[in-house]
């Protein structure tokens, strides 16, 4: 059983689970799931395989045997979800959706506002508007009733580094920004994510050939070979493989 195999290697190295979590930067609950064989608690097979590799390499053991054990006892994988079609609502760019929603709100509110003004004004007031030229004042009130168009949030890139990651295969990625914020995620083929940071990014992936990196507008390509773990610190530090 893989869990017993991993636990034996860890105990042979004289480390506790907490010490191993600190060394590998893998969450303690995921290490416990590996040793208990509860792989469903870990988000995806790419994560499981990446964690197994990192677990054993941090103890200076070859992960090949453990990966073979995992292949023998792993549960069947669920069917992948179909990607959103480019013509669907979810496939639209966030800014485009914001403009569409704004336009619909304006189209709905203009006739409602005009109807409300006409309904509540008395007949003598309406005739007075025509004779005294106050019609423009009514129009101003209508305009003021219409809300400002919805604006999508724009990222402030001033004096910040920009990191973009595009997945070409299923790839587990761990990212730490400015030694402060951390993310652990599974990127699907075609998925693209971007982040800003003031100082640096620390990146670890379980499938180095499955992602493409762009940093501050410069295309860095893949940080390593397919199926290999890679670590990268940006800026100015070469990847560790």
Nearest to 71 by CA among 28, 118, 39, 97: 39
Reply yes or no on whether the pLDDT at 119 is more than 90.
Answer: no
Predicted TM-score of the model (pTM): 0.36
pLDDT at 43 over 60: yes
CATH of domain 2-73: 1.10.260.40
Query: With the C-alpha atoms ordered 13, 14, 18, 19, is the resulting torsion angle positive or negative?
Result: negative
Measured between alpha carbons, how far apart are the two ends of the chain, in Å? 28
- CA dist 177 and 182 (Å) reads 6
Dihedral (CA of 43, 44, 45, 46) sign: negative
| Residue 39: predicted pLDDT | 85
Check pLDDT > 80 for residue 92.
no
Percent of the chain with pLDDT over 90: 36
What is the model's pLDDT at position 158?
Answer: 56
Is residue 131 within 8 Å of 184, Cβ to Cβ? Answer: no
Convert the pLDDT of each residue in 170-182 to its tens digit: 999 999 998 888 8
Domain positions in the chain are: 2-73, 94-145, 161-234
């Amino acid at each position: 059983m893989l869990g017993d195999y991993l636990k034996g290697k860890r105990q042979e190295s004289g480390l506790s689970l907490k010490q191993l979590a600190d060394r590998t930067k893998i969450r303690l609950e995921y290490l416990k799931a590996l040793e208990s064989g509860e792989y469903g608690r870990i988000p995806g097979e790419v994560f499981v395989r990446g964690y197994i590799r990192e677990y054993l390499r941090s103890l200076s053991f070859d992960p090949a045997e453990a990966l073979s054990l995992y292949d023998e006892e792993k549960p069947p994988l669920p069917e992948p979800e179909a990607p959103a079609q480019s013509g669907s609502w979810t496939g639209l760019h966030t800014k485009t959706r914001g403009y569409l929603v704004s336009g619909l709100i304006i189209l709905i509110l203009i006739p409602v506002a005009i109807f409300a003004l006409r309904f509540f004004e008395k007949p003598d007031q309406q005739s007075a508007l025509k004779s005294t030229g106050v019609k423009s004042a009514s129009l101003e009130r209508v305009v003021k009733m219409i809300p400002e168009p919805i604006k999508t949030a724009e990222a402030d890139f001033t004096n910040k580094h920009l990191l973009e990651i595009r997945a070409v295969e299923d790839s587990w990625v761990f990212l730490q920004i400015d030694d402060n914020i951390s993310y652990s995620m599974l990127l699907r083929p075609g998925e693209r994510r971007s982040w800003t940071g003031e100082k640096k990014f620390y990146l670890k992936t379980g499938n180095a050939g499955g992602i493409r990196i762009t940093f501050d507008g410069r295309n860095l390509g893949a940080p390593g070979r397919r199926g290999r773990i890679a670590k990268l610190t940006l800026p100015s530090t070469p990847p560790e493989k």
